[in-house]
Amino acid sequence: MYDLDPKEFRILRSLNTPVKIQDFLGELHMNFADTCLSPRRVLRERKAHCMEGAMLAAAALRLSGRKPWVLDLKSFPSDDDHVVAVFREDACWGALSKTNHGVLRYREPVYKTIRELVMSYFHEYFLNDGKKTLRSFTNPIDLSRLDKKGWMTAEEDLWYVPKYIDSIKHFPILTRAQLSRLRKADPIERKMGKIVEWTRSRKKN
């Protein structure tokens, strides 16, 4: 199914709840390379960054009968965007996330709207100088639209996926007045924001 081999199918099919998917993402090494690996390659190489983790999560959600949805959190230009997979439970939204930091992680399915879910990331999203950088977001994006390109099993980097996501309409979360009044994160928050889970030597802290 979906061109997955039996082992790949078995692994993804076993991740049949959002909690199991998130636990699996947490065990993957952080990928520091400039790549965009398919779920197949993530399973083989056992590493992922946020985009790759979101696609792996979306593939696992799909095999459990859910939509392979991802969502883009767009930041200020000097910061990085963050991509998560999203799911629904009892009419509420939750998110699955691969990150190296202690923030921007899993979200319980307790948010009534996508905007509510997105705003749960707002105060955690800041640079080392404390400047808050989250600026806009997309609605859930169904990756099944890219099935003809083989996004779940491709051997080449999937640069067309982030390009496609970037082309989707993004909704601003702040007015100009709100932007002008933003307060920087406190020093203790900045200190906590520097905590990482994986080092570049691929060791877990």
Between CA 143 and CA 165 the distance in angstroms is: 9
- Asked if 68 contacts 159 with a C-beta cutoff of 8 angstroms, the reply is no
pLDDT (tens digit, 9 = 90+) per residue, 20-33? 999 999 999 999 99
pLDDT for 126-182, tens place per residue?
A: 999 999 999 999 999 999 999 999 999 999 999 999 999 999 999 999 999 999 999
- Quick check: is 170 in a domain? yes
- What is the model's pLDDT at position 1? 79
Asked whether residue 199 is domain-assigned, the answer is no
pLDDT computed for residue 14 by the predictor: 98
Residues 177-203: what's their mean pLDDT?
A: 92
Tell me the per-residue pLDDT of 57-108, one tens digit each, with 9 for 90 and over: 999 999 999 999 999 999 988 899 999 999 999 999 999 999 999 999 999 9
| For residue 201, pLDDT beyond 80 | no
**Number of domains forming the structure of the chain:** 1
Residue at 79 is within a domain: yes
Q: For residue 198, is it within any domain?
A: no
Q: Is residue 109 part of a domain?
A: yes
- Is 122 contained in some domain? yes
Whether 205 is in a domain gets the answer no
| One-letter-per-residue 3-state SS of the chain | CCCCCHHHHHHHHHCCCHHHHHHHHHHCEECCCCCCCCHHHHHHHCEECHHHHHHHHHHHHHHCCCCCEEEEEEECCCCCCEEEEEEEECCEEEEECCCCECCCCCEEEEECCHHHHHHCCHHHCECCCCCECEEEECCCEEHHHHHHHCCCCCCCCCCHHHHHHHHCCCEECCCHHHHHCCCCCCHHHHHHHCCECECCCCCEC
- Tell whether 202 is covered by a domain: no
Give the structural domain span for 80: 6-193
pLDDT at 202 over 70: no
Instruction: For residue range 101-142, list pLDDT tens digits in order.
Output: 999 999 999 999 999 999 999 999 999 999 999 999 999 999
The closest alpha carbon to 18, from 92, 75, 104, belongs to: 92
Q: How far is it, in rounded angstroms, from Cα 153 to Cα 8?
A: 10
Crossing angle of helices 50-63 and 6-14, in 10° steps, is 90
Supply the pLDDT for residue 203. 66
State pTM to two decimals. Answer: 0.95
